A and B are shown apart, each in its own frame.
Chain A
């Protein structure tokens, strides 16, 4: 029986993964890996197993089935099975759909509630005018409650800020370039990692928490959804901020992997790595009983991000922006799955100068942290909380999240596994 990965359709975006020499393997960082929902690459460790699409029968098999039906069907007896109706829109139905279908549903659930609004950050306190973008969450108020306009079929909506990002100034990028040069020294040392992390580096997280295509299948689906969310949000923000890559500022950078075909800030690898670290930590250790697990996941995410600077395709500030965005989106996914509130974040790259990326400066003890470099407020956490009410949680995402939680033991039972 021939099974073909139908949902490779999503993977079609793989070709768009920048200057990908290795073709469909997700391209040089980004949307290409989205194919993971359907086929090889992306979240699935053994891609095919997570694909789970039924595919189609080849012509010989189809012909055989036609003939065998003729042989056994007998006289038509009308509808003899009555399993009962399914409830429309019931999240429990998610168990019945193929993984790629779940992925499509969850992708929409997440992306439909996010919008991007460009703005111009004003020149103030010695800062230059630079473009910025708001990443906003769409709040929905169910019109059937509160009785505002009973004739309308559609709810009232409003946007609240989840995160805003402002581009560093040109002189900041010039300063950051020196770090890219200094980091190049590590290229030989980090080569194996860099080359293995060009697509979604899921195995590097798998090695920390023991991911398995069967045993942790739903966790892997959440991870794939997170990577997709991260990639799509990152591309929107990159488009809004339009930041040039290191090799545009000097012909001496000579990166060791192709420079991808999208703007440099934020680093999609950083967004993707930090969102994955965040959702994995929240799924595997929701009670925060084992901080070392979270530390290892974050350390791996940091290393993946830094490797991009070593390779010569990112500035360290790209990783700062990407890490904050990634953790914020991870908390956002968790909030929409489990109904929680989150603090918004602001990234303003102006004034970053020569400062290097250290994850410990923007995330510590389970919380995002603000970062000030000299007088510039590079990262600010806080402001009006994004409140996720009942109408803002996603039932399908919640279902998936709950299935993932069941795949992990309670880390609080510290008595040797009884």
Chain B
């Protein structure tokens, strides 16, 4: 590298310190290479909004109805009381990117920060550039009224269940989501990239109600190309990505597995399986690190529950909701306290309180389940862990535990690479050393929760120019109060892109960056590291290249030359523990993948380490080692395609749970523990010993294998 690089505190920045590191990084240092930098725009104000979530938790007096702690023009609030003395609130929405407005938003958050620590308040904020074009942002949304909803003919309120999918590229007009009379089972579809319209009831994008979908289908009389154009799902006169134009789309396939039915089925069951579809913006899917995902997931869940309440109020019954979210995030504390997991819990609580307020029967026990995949990173070499060297017998407890990592950053990588290191809350005496691939000399990096550190060329005199030379960045968070926090300390490291084509930045150096983190931690505790995902999702152009940990002690291949499935004791780099960082919550249903023909877990199917909750079960995602994937709907009606991976295992369990809930009378639903039910069914399959030999390691497969889809397919044919 040319120049004289060293680590230094980031120049003082007025930004709120409660900003999560991804927000801070993108807003302060990452503007040239964040997602919108490469996108074609149509209007000057494309990508000129920010999406914001400010979440706080505080103690309150029992019975008190306190004034909201934080509000801002244009933002909505969802609040919830986990118990009598605690209030959690999520304040969210879009604000224009104008300096005056975002400036005053940040001031308001800084003011709020001053109260943290004074009163018992915890605070976490996310501000990111919204990946939305002008045409998707309404000037005057009507967020206070609800759409009308009438039950379709033949719906039995006690059997009604809602299956919701949050995904990418969903053809919600597909024949697999329609009844035999041609009407759709999709009650509401939110196309977040869609073109907004006058009187819209969603914060951005376009919402389609059932009668609108049916009307559009009627108008286009069997011409699906024209229908998709009418619904705004395929319109090439608009810039951007149009995933539904492709033959294979993740969302359509997943939703078919979760809730699809043959339109010719004579059984009347499908009318009770209602569908809510949410297609998140393409750029959110394309931003593979998942930085944007938390915000849009939260907004999607909130939308689904709002519409579920609408349906429940009409049917005078809390309708169960099963949400399928076939996405995984690599990072996070992996203890159930990722922002997405906490927000989900808060939104369910809010959902029940709202139903209660409207006197809907069974409000307090309203079922909301979320089913997620374990993720496909078992062999990605993106997780490492070091367990405390101290043992419980009280050998020198002051010995620090050390994790030493060699992080291989690829060349020609147009997107940044991120590493999250997580430590116990009580860890002390932390020290961090980072060496770059060229000098290989370890440099000590200060861990200061009030000041992120930058790695830049200090020989550049002008600060603005010096900022362009930032190729690495460290952010440290500690001591977040208990209430709404991760309950772990975090060291976050970002490396800038190694390919700077078209942007005015110095490229980071590819090669092995060595990271050594030391801390004193209690016996049995560990320091964990995860590298964020950086490879293109299905069907997208590649902007990033995946980085990984390099460790000579890690055995990639076994003695016969095949991929090694299991960890050894020596390497810091671990397969187990690659579980998706948003699938660690005890209340989620988490599903891994196995091969139907021989019962072997998919080589990619991630698993939990000892400190994490294990998945609940596995579903088939491949037929065999070489016949990959599961057949389900392609984008267009009448087509089938294969997709593999834990993404397609999860919706099979979603489908199963929806059917169980539909068949249970409402007063018995409260007694159903969905996780236990899934595990019980898996156990009963395993008891038949279908494959001979042992069932998969429970840290990857939970209670075992669940060939539900195959059983159901067979039953459908017999019907």
Contact = CB atoms under 8 A, between A and B. Distances in A.
Nearest to B235: A356
A185 B235 contact: no
A189 B238 CA distance: 19
Contact of B246 (A179, A186, A356): A186
A299 B223 CA distance: 9
B237 interface: yes
B241 A185 contact: yes
A37 B704 CA distance: 64
Given A358-B226, A358-B229, A182 B247 contact: no
Nearest to A292: B222
Contacts of A356: 235-237
Contacts of B42: 178
A168 to B, nearest CB: 15
Interface in A154-205: 178-179, 181-183, 185-186, 189
B237 A179 contact: yes
Closest A-B pairs by Cβ, 7 of them: A356-B237, A189-B246, A354-B237, A182-B236, A356-B236, A182-B239, A183-B236
A406 interface: no
Contacts of A316: 236
Chain B interface helix/strand/loop/mixed = loop
Contacts of A299: 225
A360 interface: yes
A178 B226 contact: no
Given A178-B239, A181-B239, A182-B238, A189 B247 contact: yes
A14 B226 CA distance: 37
25 contacts: A178-B40, A178-B42, A178-B239, A179-B236, A179-B237, A181-B40, A182-B237, A182-B238, A182-B240, A182-B242, A183-B236, A185-B242, A185-B245, A185-B541, A189-B245, A189-B246, A189-B539, A295-B223, A302-B225, A316-B236, A355-B237, A356-B237, A358-B225, A358-B226, A360-B223
Given A185-B242, A189-B245, 10 more contacts: A179-B236, A181-B40, A181-B239, A182-B238, A183-B236, A189-B539, A299-B225, A316-B236, A355-B237, A356-B235
Nearest to A353: B237
A128 to B, nearest CB: 22
Nearest to B241: A185
B249 to A, nearest CB: 10
Interface in B445-494: none
Nearest to A354: B237
Contacts of A360: 223, 225-226
Interface string B497-517: 000000000000000000000
Interface in B34-53: 40, 42
Contacts of B239: 178, 181-182
A61 to B, nearest CB: 52
A185 B42 CA distance: 17
Of B237, B239, B241, B246, chain A has the most CB atoms within 10 Å of the CB of B237
Chain A interface helix/strand/loop/mixed = helix
A182 B40 contact: yes
Interface size range of chain B in the complex = 10 to 19
Contacts of A181: 40, 239
Contacts of B225: 299, 302, 358, 360
A179 B245 CA distance: 14
B143 to A, nearest CB: 31
A73 to B, nearest CB: 66
A355 B229 CA distance: 13
A311 to B, nearest CB: 14
Interface string A283-299: 00000000000010001
A295 B222 CA distance: 10
Interface string A310-348: 000000100000000000000000000000000000000
Contacts of B238: 182
A182 B240 CA distance: 6
Contacts of A185: 241-242, 245, 541
Contacts of B237: 179, 182, 354-356
Interface string A244-286: 0000000000000000000000000000000000000000000
Interface in A365-389: none
Interface string B222-262: 01011001000001111111100111000000000000000
B232 to A, nearest CB: 13
A359 B235 CA distance: 14
A207 to B, nearest CB: 15
A355 B237 CA distance: 6
A354 B42 CA distance: 11
Nearest to A187: B541
Of B236, B242, B247, chain A has the most CB atoms within 10 Å of the CB of B236
A360 B220 CA distance: 10
Contacts of B236: 179, 182-183, 316, 356
Contacts of A186: 245-246
Nearest to A359: B225
Contacts of A295: 223
A143 B595 CA distance: 82
Nearest to B222: A295
A189 B540 CA distance: 11
A133 to B, nearest CB: 27
A356 B247 CA distance: 20
B428 to A, nearest CB: 51
Nearest to B223: A360
Nearest to A185: B241
Contacts of A358: 225-226, 229
A360 B230 CA distance: 12
A302 B225 CA distance: 11
A354 B241 CA distance: 17
Contacts of A302: 225
Contacts of A354: 237
Interface string B538-560: 01010000000000000000000
Nearest to B247: A189
A185 B240 CA distance: 9
Contacts of B229: 358
A110 to B, nearest CB: 32
Nearest to B245: A186
A297 B223 CA distance: 13
A365 to B, nearest CB: 10
Interface in B61-103: none
A186 B248 CA distance: 11
Interface in B106-153: none
Contacts of B247: 189
Nearest to A356: B237
A268 to B, nearest CB: 21
Contacts of B242: 182, 185
Of B242, B245, B539, B541, chain A has the most CB atoms within 10 Å of the CB of B245
Interface string A16-43: 0000000000000000000000000000
A355 B226 CA distance: 15
Nearest to B282: A185
A349 to B, nearest CB: 16
A186 B241 CA distance: 9
A178 B238 CA distance: 9
A316 B229 CA distance: 15
Contacts of B240: 182
B95 to A, nearest CB: 28
A48 B240 CA distance: 46
A354 B40 CA distance: 15
Nearest to B220: A360
Interface string B515-541: 000000000000000000000000101
Contacts of B226: 358, 360
A356 B234 CA distance: 11
A176 to B, nearest CB: 10
A185 B247 CA distance: 12
A356 B236 CA distance: 7
Nearest to A309: B236
Nearest to A316: B236
Contacts of A178: 40, 42, 239
